[in-house]
Structure formats: C-alpha cells, structure tokens
Amino acid sequence: MKDEDSSILHNRAMIVNNLSMLDQITADLGGGESISVSIIAINYKEGTLILDYGSSDYFNKKLVSTPYVKFSTRFNGIKVAFTGDKISLVKYEGNPAFSMPIPSSLLWYNRRDCYRVNTPITNPSICEIALVAPKEDSAEEYTEAYNNAISLIKEQLPAKIEKVLLARKEAFIRAYEKMTLTNKIKARLEQKNSAAYADDLEEQLSNLIRLNLHDISLTGFSMKNEDRAFSYFLMPETIYENCTLVMPDHDNVNISFQIVTKSPMIGFKRGTFSELVGVKFRELKPMEESIVLRYVQDLERKNAGIS
C-alpha cells in the first residue's frame, strides 16, 4: 500500500499527459456493474475530460447518477486508477458524450520490479560517472583500478568525442526544423562555436565512465558494461553522487544512485565481457523526476506505436 501511495500523481500537467496515453478504461458503477469507456478529449484550459457515449441507455444513465465512479485500466503493465465525480451529459463535436473534471490525483503504479521500459539501442540514453582520482592514502587496489580505467577511457576518447558531436549535430537538426527565423539565426551563430565545444569535450570526458542504459523507470535503471576495466567501480552497494543521465531529446539530469545488482548479460559471445548493472535513484528531486518521467512516457508511446 505504501508503494502505491508513492505512485499517486498530483501535478495537473503530468496527470493530463498520462491520461492522454490511455484508450479504453473501466468505470466501476458499484453493485458489481461496470462499463468500458474511452477518453476522447481532454480540455486542459477548462479542466475537463470528455468520455464517449455508450450504446446502453441504462449504463449511460447510471454513469451520470453514480456519485463517485472509480476508473481503472492497465497501460503497458502499469496499474492506473482515478476517481470521477460530477459526470454530466454534453455534446462533443455534435454527438452526445460525457464530461467530468480532470481528476485531482492519478494512481500510476509502475514498480520497477514488475515494470520497466527498454531504452533504444541506436540512440541510447547514457549514464556518466566521474571517477575520483586516488589520494596518497588510497588503497593500491583502487589506484591500480583507477589507472587501468583512465587508460581505457583515453583510448576510447576519440570515438566517444565523435559520437557526442554527431549526437549534438543530429539534435540541432531536429530542433532547427521547429525554430522561428530569429532563433534559427541565433542557433547558427552558436553552431559556429562548435570547434570550441569540441576542444572542451576531451577535458570533460577524460575521467568519465559512460555506459549505455538497458532500461529505465521512475525508480532506477540498468546499464550495460562491456569493459572489464570498469567493473571494479560498479560493485553492488556502491553509491555515486553528481552523475549525469543523458536522455536523447530531453534535458540532462544530475542524479545520485546506489548500485543494487550486477550480473553477466545473457546472449553475448563466449569469451566476451558484458555485465548488466542495476541501480536505484537516491532522492530524485521533483524537477529531475519530471524529466525522467517524460522520457519514460516518450519511450512508452514509441513502444506502443503512439506518435
């Protein structure tokens, strides 16, 4: 019950965004009676949901007369529920329909251990972990592991810089198409400074482990490590602060997390190294949580074939 309580949304914009992804929902009318209805429109300005008008006069009348209607459904394995009241008969685009206030709260129950969203392979999200240089009193084991990891990072640096620049260019092209003329001029001027940006990248990436995500949810994610030199820094119970979560077409998020699990990845060729590292967020701030939620929802839409 405590888990469900923590999954109740109260932010109006988030509630509307989530409801817009739903199709059929079940309305519990009490006494063991229920009907299936669809949300056909959401008027954010007026604060109303528009539901379709059913074929049964009996159930249509009962939907209006029931004081508090419990609505529920499942979306990609997520338990969804909310309560509706003040349901009234209206006209929508010339046809009969039902109107009700946008609910003030929405249960969106997607515990990580029963639901997660796979992240794309071709345009991956990335977790950046900054390695801390050893001190004079650091253990020899840590110093050796750090030196091995940094050597590998430097070896991979040219390819990583190329990938970052390519991703930046592709993001610019996508954003440029939607810009006004004034913003296009400003954007072109900023792009002229891309050479300086490239020069800064080498320093920024020089101590970063950058791992592609495998899946993500509101409570954590898993990431893929294919380099044995990084494995020392990915032990369960390890806590990392001030890491960066890079999500394509979304703002980067500063995160803290604790590593929970680590296991070999299935399906890789024998003799190759690969492991899956599962983590949970620590004290994700509301703004950061909102950005992660929007990214998860975008992935849900794409996986469900919703534009």
Which of 4-8, 75-79, 137-141 is the least confident region? 4-8
CATH of the domain at 239: 2.40.10.220
Q: Specify whether 154 is located in the same domain as 197.
A: yes
Q: Specify whether 232 is located in the same domain as 197.
A: no
Mean pLDDT of all residues belonging to the chain? 84
Over residues 244-265, the mean pLDDT reads 91
* Cα dihedral 121, 122, 126, 131 sign: positive
Region of residue 182 (phi > 0: left; psi between -120 and 50: alpha; otherwise: beta): alpha
pLDDT tens string 219-232: 899 999 999 999 99
What pLDDT was estimated at residue 112? 46
Q: Specify whether 242 is located in the same domain as 302.
A: yes
Torsion angle defined by CA atoms of residues 246, 247, 248 and 249, in that order, rounded to the nearest 10 degrees: -110
307 CB neighbour count, 10 Å cutoff: 4
- Asked if the model's pLDDT at residue 30 lies above 60, the reply is yes
What pLDDT was estimated at residue 187? 60
Q: Specify whether 185 is located in the same domain as 63.
A: no
Cβ atoms of 83 and 68 closer than 8 Å: yes
pLDDT tens string 43-93: 988 999 999 998 899 999 999 999 899 999 887 667 899 999 899 999 999
Over residues 143-147, the mean pLDDT reads 95
5 band by pLDDT with thresholds 50, 70 and 90: very low
Contacts of residue 44, defined as CB under 8 A and 6 or more positions apart, other chains included, come to 12, 16, 102
Q: Specify whether 230 is located in the same domain as 292.
A: yes
Q: Which of 206, 231, 251 is the last residue of a domain?
A: 206
- Asked if the model's pLDDT at residue 186 lies above 70, the reply is no
Q: What is the domain count for the chain?
A: 3
Domain encompassing residue 186: 139-206
Helix (H) or strand (E) holding 215: strand 208-216
8 band by pLDDT with thresholds 50, 70 and 90: confident
CATH of the domain at 104: 2.30.110.10
What pLDDT was estimated at residue 1? 43
Cβ atoms of 276 and 262 closer than 8 Å: yes
Q: Over pLDDT 90: what percentage of the chain?
A: 47
- Asked if the model's pLDDT at residue 36 lies above 60, the reply is yes
* Cα dihedral 119, 121, 124, 128 sign: positive
Q: Specify whether 218 is located in the same domain as 306.
A: yes
185 band by pLDDT with thresholds 50, 70 and 90: low
Q: Specify whether 125 is located in the same domain as 224.
A: yes
Q: Specify whether 256 is located in the same domain as 116.
A: yes
Q: Specify whether 164 is located in the same domain as 294.
A: no
pTM of the model: 0.58
Q: Specify whether 73 is located in the same domain as 23.
A: yes
